[in-house]
Amino acid sequence: MKVSLYQEKETPIHKLDPRTKIISSVFLFVCALIFNHPLYLLALFSPLLSILLLFRSYPLIFRLKYVLILLFFFSLILWPFFVKGENILFWIASYPIYEESLYYGMAMGIRLVTFVVIGLIYVSTTKNEETMYGLIALGFPYPFSFAIGTALRLVPSFVDAAVTIMEAQFSRGLELETKNPFKILKILSVLAVPMFVTAIRNTNMLGLSLEARGFSPSARRTFYLDLKMRPKDLITIFSVLSILLFCLYLRVFLGKGVVIPGRI
């Protein structure tokens, strides 16, 4: 069963150098932090979502649909209680709900979902190993890059083990189809023991296996994957940088894209 989010395809984004993808993702993250107006964030979010859909990665969106919906609605509902605006729209008990804070909540929801979409575009088009190689090429130390790559690698492994453990428990009558949160907690505690045992054993074995194949974080090594910055990489970085600069210009010099001034 496939649990990792990487999609083996030949899209233009797949063909970009991982450094380009890392730098562009960071720039786009910053762009999403510049505005707190829902329309401006929507203008950033829409083309990103289109990219994801254009490359037929909608199964990823489908898999994460509940997370995305929860993120958006939690932001929309919770932020208005914590951020003050100017025009009171209505009251909930003794709490005033401002028009601006409602927009701000909406903007924060879009921002979070935008972060997820940027992340999805990145992980669905970049192998863990490419991320590691990219970080090394960007000047990060090898042990740090290797640790990031390993952490990313272990996520799908643990998810895979968790799926098998859940299947094993279902096979002897464990029922997850309950809405009682206490029962769910009890069920999760049952799953936790074998998951913990499996995680410890696998991590131990992984350490053994790495050493047995001559791995040493400080030793010199060669690289199998070739990283090469091509003109299309430079064009991509330049384009995303232009978007970032344009966003900064709108916010800093023209004061656009803000519903609540003084907040990110």
Partner 1 sequence: MSVSFEELSFRYKNRGSYALKDINAKWVESSSIAIMGHEGAGKSTLCYSINGIVPHFFKGEYSGRTIVFGTEVKKSSVQEMAKKVGLVFQDFESQIFSTNVELEVAFGLENLCLPKEEMGRRVDFYLAFVGLKELKKRDTATLSGGQKQRLAIASVLAMEQPVIVMDEPLSDLDPVGKREILEIREKLKDEKRLLIIVENDPENVLQMDEIWIMKEGRFFASGRARDIIKDVPLLESAGIMVPKHFIFFKGLGFRDPPLTFEDSIKLLREKCLLNGNRRFFELNIPSHFCKDGIIEFRDVHFSYPGSDEEVLKGINLVIREGDFVAIVGSNGSGKTTLAKHANGLLKPTKGAVLVKGKDTRSYKRHELARTVGYVFQNPDHQICSRTVFDEVSFGLRRLGIEKKYIEESVEEALFVTGLSGYEHLSPFLLSKGERQRVACASILALKPQVLILDEPTTGLDFVHQVKMMEMLKKLNERGHTIIIITHSIWVAETYAKRSIVMRDGRIEKEGPTREVFFDEETLLSCSVYPSTLTRIANFLKTKSMEPEEMIEELKNEGLLVPGKRDPNS
Answer for the pair 55, 64: CB distance below 8 angstroms, yes or no: no
Paired tokens of 30 = 């910053």
φ/ψ of 178, rounded to 5, equals: -130, 150
CA torsion through residues 106, 112, 116, 119, sign = positive
Among 191, 227, 243, 250, binds partner 1 (CB under 8 A): 191
DSSP state of 88: E
Q: Strand, coil or helix: what is 91?
A: strand
Distance between CA atoms of 149 and 131, rounded to whole angstroms?
7
Among 99, 156, 227, 256, binds partner 1 (CB under 8 A): 156
Q: Which residues pair with 92 in a beta bridge?
A: 95
* Distance separating the N- and C-terminal Cα atoms of the chain: 41
Binding flag, residue 129, partner 1 (CB under 8 A)? yes
Among 86, 94, 181, 213, binds partner 1 (CB under 8 A): 213
Answer for the pair 103, 6: CB distance below 8 angstroms, yes or no: no
Among 139, 181, 214, 262, binds partner 1 (CB under 8 A): 214
Binding flag, residue 93, partner 1 (CB under 8 A)? no
Binding flag, residue 66, partner 1 (CB under 8 A)? no
Binding flag, residue 224, partner 1 (CB under 8 A)? yes
Binding flag, residue 143, partner 1 (CB under 8 A)? no
Q: Which is nearer to partner 1, 84 or 201 (CB)?
A: 201
* Closest separation in Å from C-beta 178 to partner 1: 11
Paired tokens of 85 = 């605006």
Q: Strand, coil or helix: what is 201?
A: helix
Binding flag, residue 210, partner 1 (CB under 8 A)? yes
- Spell out, one character per residue from 4 to 33, where the chain touches partner 1: x when CB under 8 A holds, - when not: x-x-x-------------------------
Binding flag, residue 228, partner 1 (CB under 8 A)? no
**What residues make contact with partner 1 under the rule CB under 8 A?**
1-4, 6, 8, 59, 63, 127-129, 153, 156-157, 160-161, 164-165, 167-175, 177, 190-191, 193-194, 197-198, 201-202, 205-216, 219-226
